[in-house]
Structure 1
Amino acid sequence: MNKTMKWTSAVLAAGVLLGGSGLVGGTFVNAAATGGNTVKQATQQPSVVLKYKGQVLTQQGKIVDGNTMIPLTVLRDAFGLAIDYNSTTRTYSVGSDSMKLNLEVSDYGVSTDLNGYYIYSMTGNHEAKMINDRLYVPFKLLNDYLGIQGVYNPVQKSLELSKLVMNDIKITSVSLDKSNKNATIQIQYPKISGLTDEVQNTINTAFKKEAERFASEAEKEASRRDGTIEHKYDYSQTYVVTFNREGVLSIVVDQYGYSGGAHGGTIREGHTFSLKDGKKIELKDLLKAEPNYKQKLDKMLKQSTKDVAFPESTGGLTEKPAFFVSESGLAIFYQQYEIAPYAAGIPTYTFNFSSILPKGTNPFASFK
């Protein structure tokens, strides 16, 4: 099947515009699962003392369904990140470039994206919540995408927040608009700076070629649109940085296309590079300390996918596994329909490196 025939959209929904501590916001939930209902008020939740640079913050976190939630205003008051508001689009933004978190408020609620890439639970719970008229974001979202780490003290019930040490590079977006009378074609791809010319050119060329190839495929498919189809075809590409530390850069690219029918389709690609030489990192490079990593991963994946995979699918390790690196570990994913029905989305399973590699092994040691 042609790649552009597989792209899909996801359902956005949910939240309410409410005031609180100089900031308004809402929650992002799955409308299909909730019928469009949103969390306006929460029952009493256990509090978490928040600390930054050894100082106790006046604002506290909450434990909700086992997830530590942080007031969005902590990013402003503790980390010094400005929170901007666009009254035209009703969007709150914090951060910049590839780490720019956007919360767009509508009559249906608030959707969450990072520099245009809508965040769903690829590696865990990333849903913001409205608690007592204040917007809270999961610590996991901050840790996975905004470069913030935390150490929890169970005795004091406190979370010490700090900044992760990131690679000394800058990641900006390049826009490619190839829209025409037959289709809307809007593409975003990353551009890296701060490395040697040779290394950053190698990485940037790979992302540029991927974007141009997608645009060409979209234009070709759209050219076959006939007069019986009133609507334009729709194609878009977005990306998100999932890991940017220890000499390693991992980025997920989603390519979406819709040319009619009940829904479109999404193709996801994971790209992981060594910033030392610009070479693409493969699984064997990350897991070379474990000779039996394929057997280990195969067993772990079969166990993880058994409840969602098609009866005829083993759900194990494929010949060329699709993966990316995140703060949570190694994420293996399958394309839509590859092992499960459309409703399963893009099945993604994350494993801590310590569950695969010998004790004390650093998978990134050779890339520093």
Structure 2
Amino acid sequence: MNKTMKWTSAILATGVLLGGSGLIGGNSVQAATTGAKTVKQAVQQPSVVLKYKGQTLTQHAKIVDGNTMIPLTVLRDAFGLPINYNSTTKTYSVGSDSMKLNMEVSDYGVGTDLNGYYIYSMTGNHESKMINNRLYVPFKLLSDYLGVQGVYNPTQKSLDLSKRVMNDIKITSEALDKSNKNASIKVQYPKISGLAEEVQTKINATFKKQAEQFVSNSEEQASRRDGTVGNKYDFSQTYVVSFNREGVLSIVTDQYEYTGGAHGGTMREGHTFSLKDGKQIELKDLLKAEPNYKQKLDKMLKESTKELAFPDAPGGLTEKPNFFVSESGIVIFYQQYEIAPYAAGIPTYTFNFSSILPKGTDPFTSFK
């Protein structure tokens, strides 16, 4: 689902330009047109005043389908993040390493990924949009993945933005490309630095082992391909950092494979670590303040999945639930076909810690 998503950009011959004059370096993002079909635009959207550290910005956010959309250039002008543009792929990039946001503008919309990981199907609406010839990014995307937080003032209809306090670590990408005549095999996995040596070695060994095992399995499958028939096989792994605060690091990896047929398949895995000792955190470690957390989660999951799940699927809390931590709480997910048809993708459900734990409980106390 992630690597195979393609965005055709031939129609927009000159791409998206920064600045009111149509040149990189201005205060807005504009779309060029060619006289052919143009990007669908939203008009007359309600505005939200934007502030950064209490100072009012000249640019405003807009509300689109209930989502607060932030002008891309706010990341440059307020947060000091440079915006780069690739004229060949018609892609804008902002940020770096695991927090590098890429937006490919095409006639079909804006393809958004974080360091190669497409996040449109994760925990909410993360789709960037063209609005009146300007490129906007959902506040939810910035909040969930780029370390931005905001406080909304309903009286002033304003959103005060600021940076989150993150764990003092660095996350870079390691790449493995084992493509051959039978298959494309490309893998990215995270590498952590800035921790005690024994801690980061333990965490990094987990991701390296997972990546190497996926490559080995992919090579083995590719070796059985009949090279005289059909397209090459396709195997890829990407990742995204879903939480990096309070002494806790949560990373999601997606492994995609296509070996023929109508479509490929994706296997998702959540990895959550304590940065004190490098141990993987389980649900019981985060929810130990609530003795009945299993019963609570089981009930909430059954209620959430009842309209989607197969008639004979339990749809509740499994023996070893797949999960990760996000800025919104605990995220439980099921693999493709586990409880629902392929069209349902990877069913994903987010629960605030406050809906599970006793009032005032901090799930991260023991990891700080």
For the residues of structure 2 that align with 1:342 and 1:242, how far apart are their CA atoms? 24
1:10, distance to aligned residue in structure 2 (A): 6.0
| Equivalent residue number for residue 98 of structure 1 | 98
For the residues of structure 1 that align with 2:197 and 2:60, how far apart are their CA atoms? 45
Matched-pair contact (CA < 8 Å) for 2:301–2:315: yes
| Equivalent residue number for residue 191 of structure 1 | 191
| Equivalent residue number for residue 230 of structure 2 | 230
| Residues 79/227 of structure 1: CA separation in 2 closer, same or farther (3 Å cut) | closer
| Equivalent residue number for residue 168 of structure 1 | 168
| Equivalent residue number for residue 348 of structure 2 | 348
| Equivalent residue number for residue 298 of structure 2 | 298
> Which protein has greater RCO, CA pairs closer than 8 Å, 6+ apart?
1
Match runs of 1:265-344 below 5 Å: 265-344=265-344
Quick one: which amino acid aligns to residue 173 of structure 1?
Answer: S
For the residues of structure 2 that align with 1:88 and 1:121, how far apart are their CA atoms? 26
Report the 3-state secondary structure (helix = DSSP H, G, I; strand = E; otherwise coil) of the residue aligned with 1:49: strand
Quick one: which amino acid aligns to residue 127 of structure 2?
Answer: E
- Which digits, 9 at most, give the CA deviation of each residue in 1:30-63, with x for residues without a partner? xxxxxxx986222322111100111000000111
- Which digits, 9 at most, give the CA deviation of each residue in 1:50-95, with x for residues without a partner? 0011100000011111111110000000001000111222211000
For the residues of structure 2 that align with 1:243 and 1:164, how far apart are their CA atoms? 11
For the residues of structure 2 that align with 1:354 and 1:333, how far apart are their CA atoms? 19
| Equivalent residue number for residue 221 of structure 1 | 221
Matched-pair contact (CA < 8 Å) for 1:25–1:105: no
Report the 3-state secondary structure (helix = DSSP H, G, I; strand = E; otherwise coil) of the residue aligned with 2:93: strand
Quick one: which amino acid aligns to residue 102 of structure 1?
Answer: N
| Equivalent residue number for residue 256 of structure 2 | 256
- Which digits, 9 at most, give the CA deviation of each residue in 1:185-222, with x for residues without a partner? 00000000000000000000000000000000000111
Report the 3-state secondary structure (helix = DSSP H, G, I; strand = E; otherwise coil) of the residue aligned with 2:309: coil
| Equivalent residue number for residue 65 of structure 2 | 65
Corresponding position: 1:87 with 2:109: no
For the residues of structure 2 that align with 1:214 and 1:334, how far apart are their CA atoms? 20
Report the 3-state secondary structure (helix = DSSP H, G, I; strand = E; otherwise coil) of the residue aligned with 2:236: strand
For the residues of structure 1 that align with 2:16 and 2:93, how far apart are their CA atoms? 16
Match runs of 1:74-223 below 5 Å: 74-223=74-223
| Residues 38/243 of structure 1: CA separation in 2 closer, same or farther (3 Å cut) | farther
| Residues 212/45 of structure 1: CA separation in 2 closer, same or farther (3 Å cut) | same
Identity of aligned residues (%): 79
For the residues of structure 1 that align with 2:277 and 2:124, how far apart are their CA atoms? 31
| Equivalent residue number for residue 245 of structure 2 | 245
- Which digits, 9 at most, give the CA deviation of each residue in 1:214-250, with x for residues without a partner? 0000001111111442321110000000000000000
Matched-pair contact (CA < 8 Å) for 1:249–1:274: yes
For the residues of structure 1 that align with 2:3 and 2:193, how far apart are their CA atoms? 31
For the residues of structure 2 that align with 1:269 and 1:213, how far apart are their CA atoms? 14
Report the 3-state secondary structure (helix = DSSP H, G, I; strand = E; otherwise coil) of the residue aligned with 2:220: helix
1:162, distance to aligned residue in structure 2 (A): 0.2
1:161, distance to aligned residue in structure 2 (A): 0.2
Matched-pair contact (CA < 8 Å) for 2:110–2:129: no
For the residues of structure 2 that align with 1:164 and 1:248, how far apart are their CA atoms? 14
For the residues of structure 2 that align with 1:211 and 1:41, how far apart are their CA atoms? 40
Matched-pair contact (CA < 8 Å) for 2:172–2:191: yes
TM (normalized to structure 2)? 0.92
TM (normalized to structure 1)? 0.92
| Equivalent residue number for residue 365 of structure 2 | 365
Quick one: which amino acid aligns to residue 188 of structure 1?
Answer: Q
1:131, distance to aligned residue in structure 2 (A): 1.2
For the residues of structure 2 that align with 1:46 and 1:162, how far apart are their CA atoms? 22
Matched-pair contact (CA < 8 Å) for 1:8–1:257: no
Quick one: which amino acid aligns to residue 313 of structure 1?
Answer: A
For the residues of structure 1 that align with 2:312 and 2:135, how far apart are their CA atoms? 44
For the residues of structure 2 that align with 1:255 and 1:138, how far apart are their CA atoms? 26
